[in-house]
């Protein structure tokens, strides 16, 4: 920080800083470890408040949150997932397809809470500050709400799993979502038996974690002149 003085009340202690980083690094996409324990309303309330504090372009706050506890509704979503899952499997071949079929990719009926996060694309009218030239910024804002929610849930020791193998139209039909509203994420939420040490797709060999120092450039695409000190920190 240059110029002026630091705002003492706004500063994080080293312990608080480390807790934030731990939360980020220990966040996991949960599929198969859900317990049947209910998430108390006060805990779910804190998680939703964190989601609602996400940054949004033009302060448009385009998100809504549909909470699902009805098992019949969750089963309908599970059935829609199964159709999409079988279609997705056909897009892979050989060993890749076998590995795909062996992965557990949802916990829709096991998780005590389902949550659909949406984006109302007409919430702030036609012209929105910051969205005049990048129309998709409302969608990105809603995704920021998902990330806030996910990190807050991890800090509460609550697991979250994002189920993306679903047709948007199926979610619209099952949940009564208007056409102008874009479903962003269907999340499975609940307490878990444990959090995995590493992402499951990494440990199962679906893809390796990419090296950060190979993804950072300076001033121009694929330019690294004079950048070695920072790149060394990223290795």
What CA–CA distance (Å, rounded) separates 3 from 130? 28
Same domain, 184 and 148: yes
Q: Is residue 20 part of a domain?
A: no
Q: What is the CATH number of the domain that holds 39?
A: 3.40.109.10
What CA–CA distance (Å, rounded) separates 97 from 93? 5
Same domain, 181 and 229: no
Same domain, 182 and 234: no
In the chain, % of residues over pLDDT 70: 97
Mean pLDDT of 28-37: 94
Better-predicted residue by pLDDT, 142 or 36: 142
Q: Is residue 120 part of a domain?
A: yes
pLDDT digits (tens, 9 = 90+) for 59-101: 999 999 999 999 999 999 999 999 999 999 999 999 999 999 9
**Res. 170: pLDDT tops 60:** yes
What CA–CA distance (Å, rounded) separates 117 from 149? 10
Q: What is the pLDDT of residue 126?
A: 85
Q: What is the pLDDT of residue 180?
A: 94
Better-predicted residue by pLDDT, 226 or 220: 220
Q: What is the pLDDT of residue 102?
A: 96
Same domain, 198 and 222: no
Same domain, 147 and 216: no
What CA–CA distance (Å, rounded) separates 31 from 110? 9
Q: How far is residue 24 CA from its own chain's centroid?
A: 12
Q: Is residue 197 part of a domain?
A: yes
Q: How far is residue 101 CA from its own chain's centroid?
A: 23
Instruction: Give the three-class secondary structure for 15.
Output: helix
Q: What is the pLDDT of residue 3?
A: 47
Q: Which residue has the tokens 């940054």?
A: 55
Same domain, 182 and 117: yes
- Name the domain count of the chain: 2
pLDDT digits (tens, 9 = 90+) for 103-146: 999 999 999 999 999 999 999 888 999 999 999 999 999 999 99
Residue ranges making up the domain that contains 220: 210-235
Q: Is residue 19 part of a domain?
A: no
Question: What residues are paired with 160 via a beta bridge?
Answer: 29, 189
Radius of gyration of the chain (CA): 20
Same domain, 68 and 122: yes
Q: Is residue 16 part of a domain?
A: no
Neighbours of 230 (CB within 10 A): 12
Q: What is the pLDDT of residue 6?
A: 57
Same domain, 143 and 73: yes
Q: Is residue 182 part of a domain?
A: yes
What CA–CA distance (Å, rounded) separates 48 from 42? 10
Q: Is residue 22 part of a domain?
A: no
């Amino acid at each position: 920080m240059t110029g002026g003085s630091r705002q003492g009340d706004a500063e994080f202690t080293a312990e608080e800083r480390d807790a934030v980083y731990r939360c980020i690094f220990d966040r996991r996409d949960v599929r198969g470890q859900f317990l049947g324990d209910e998430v108390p309303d006060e805990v779910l309330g804190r998680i939703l408040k964190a989601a609602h504090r996400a940054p949004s372009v033009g302060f448009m706050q385009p998100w809504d949150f549909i909470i699902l506890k009805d098992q019949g509704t969750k089963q309908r979503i599970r059935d829609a997932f199964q159709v999409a899952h079988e279609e997705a499997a056909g897009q892979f071949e050989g060993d890749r397809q076998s590995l795909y079929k062996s992965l557990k990719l949802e916990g829709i009926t096991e998780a005590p809470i389902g949550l659909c996060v949406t984006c109302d694309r007409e919430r702030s009218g036609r012209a929105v500050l910051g969205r005049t030239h990048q129309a998709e910024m409302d969608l990105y804002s809603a995704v920021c709400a998902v990330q806030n929610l996910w990190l807050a849930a991890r800090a509460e020791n609550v697991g979250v799993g994002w189920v993306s193998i679903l047709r948007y139209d199926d979610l619209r039909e099952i949940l009564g979502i208007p056409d102008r509203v874009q479903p962003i994420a269907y999340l499975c939420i609940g307490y878990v038996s444990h959090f995995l040490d590493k992402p499951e797709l990494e440990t199962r060999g679906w893809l390796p974690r990419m090296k950060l120092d190979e993804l950072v450039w300076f001033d121009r695409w694929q330019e690294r002149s004079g950048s070695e000190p920072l790149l060394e920190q990223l290795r």
